[in-house]
Structure 1
Amino acid sequence: MKKLDTGFYNRADVVKIAKELIGKVLVTQFGEVITSGRIVETEAYAGAIDRASHAFGGRRTNRTEVMYQPGGTAYVYLCYGIHHLFNVVTNQKDIPHAILIRAVDPIQGINAMLERTGKKKADYTLTKGPGNVSKALGIHTGHTGYNLLQEEIYIANDDFTPGKKDIIATPRIGVDYAGEDAKLPYRFILKDNPYVSGKKANHSMSL
């Protein structure tokens, strides 16, 4: 596997990057424990112009400041006080684009994932949905600001390339507050993958 480099993350089109992350492998290595999964669902957030983004209107807070870092930085935030959600910051410094990793298909370290999640069986709920992704891979808010070019958390290409018809674009999930921006086709899924979250009725618009 080849680790994605700065050039992959530091591009202007966050939607294109979100689409290209489908099929890549998210890896964590904490001590001797390695876990990984193929990314099968992402959501793009286009920064200051995107009503669904934490950085809409150029908003800067202690939580969102990390979104203004250069591409290839981890942004992990707490949702509902429970779920740690892992995002990949993209674009150049001071442009707060980010991509939420919503689901992965487990590859390595499934026993460790079961232990972290408290599950007894490796069914599709193990890494379906962004909260489960972080829990299974051991990612938490303490990793926000982490450089994804290092060894503990990174994304790699293992030469798996999904066909164009296998990547589907839909509106994002749970962003109704964003008005018209909630309808943007900024969510990407790997067609027919059982780990993809949300309702199948949402699946539309093949790209």
Structure 2
Amino acid sequence: MPSRSSSVIDFDAPPEEVAQHLIGVTLLVDGVGGRIVETEAYDRDDPASHSFSGPTSRNASMFGSPGRAYVYRSYGIHWCLNFVCREKGHGAAVLIRAIEPTMGLDRMRERRGLDEARLLCAGPGRLAQALGIDDGFNGKPLDAPPFLLIAPPDGEPDAVVDAGLRIGISKAIDTPWRFGEKGSRFLSKPLGRKR
């Protein structure tokens, strides 16, 4: 399988484009992970984004170089993994919402304390727990260990991507920047839901 590093994925692009291009890419962290099936985009001009009010100690990675991880704790409980995009200093990222687990399932099951493969990585908090993500990954480059991004094999058809409204936000709720692989049973929630 050819490697798809951050130099192959153009992280110096608008987050809604990066979010769509990531669908179908395999994400591994220390050899554990699977195919990305759901993402959400956030931009500096987006009131729902952590970067909307400018740089802080919490969101500093969003204003750094594209192609790095931005990890934060949601509601003081769950870690969330994002990929920084756009040119340095812009403040945009893509939240990795769900993967289809394919590698290291025993590790993921142990970390999550459950057997059901569909629920191992369906949602950003579950995904981070299954992959062992915490704040120690914040700012790390996506084209170097422990991260590995792998392109779909040659000849495999591109994933069909659907768009929908983002989840769990109270601002910019009508922006259709949640993307998922059509028909995937590993999404955190079905796409196409209207508020």
Relative to its length, the structure with more helix (as a share) is 1
Q: Distance in 2 between matches of 1:188 and 1:201?
A: 10
Measured in 2, the distance between the counterparts of 1:64 and 1:19 equals 23
Match of 1:18 in 2: 19
Q: Given the two structures, how large is their TM-score scaled by the length of structure 2? A: 0.92
Give the direction of change, closer, same or farther, for the CA distance of 1:3–1:113 in structure 2 (3 Å limit).
Answer: same
1:156 Cα shift? Answer: 1.9
SS in 2 for 1:182: coil
User: Which amino acid in structure 2 is aligned with residue 17 of structure 1?
Assistant: V
Instruction: Give unmatched runs, 5+ long, in structure 2.
Output: none
Match in the other structure for 1:143: 137
Give 1:1-207 correspondences, 5 Å limit. 1-6=2-7, 8-29=9-30, 34-47=31-44, 49-57=45-53, 59-119=54-114, 121-159=115-153, 160-163=156-159, 166-176=160-170, 178=171, 181-199=172-190, 202=193
Matched positions, count: 191
Shift in Å at residue 11 of structure 1? 2.3
Please give the alpha-carbon distance, in whole angstroms, between the structure 1 residues aligned to 2:125 and 2:9: 25
Whole-angstrom distance in 2 between the partners of 1:148 and 1:200: 27
**Larger CA deviation: 135-144 vs 6-15:** 6-15
Shift of 1:123: 3.1
Tell me which amino acid in the other structure corresponds to 2:186.
Y
SS in 2 for 1:81: coil
- SS of the residue corresponding to residue 2 of structure 1 reads coil
Runs of 4+ in 1 over 3 A off after TM superposition: none
| CA shift digits 1:56-111 (9 cap, x unpaired) | 04x21111111011111100100111110000001111011100000000111100
Preserved CA contact (<8 Å) 2:7 2:143: yes
1:36 is paired with a residue of what secondary structure? strand
Q: SS of the residue aligned with 2:60? A: helix
CA distance in 2, matches of 1:92, 1:144: 18
Measured after TM superposition, the shift of residue 13 of structure 1 is 1.8
Q: Which runs of 5+ in 1 are unaligned?
A: none
TM-score by length of 1: 0.86
The RMSD of aligned alpha carbons is 1.6
Which residue identity lines up with residue 185 of structure 1 in the other structure? Answer: P
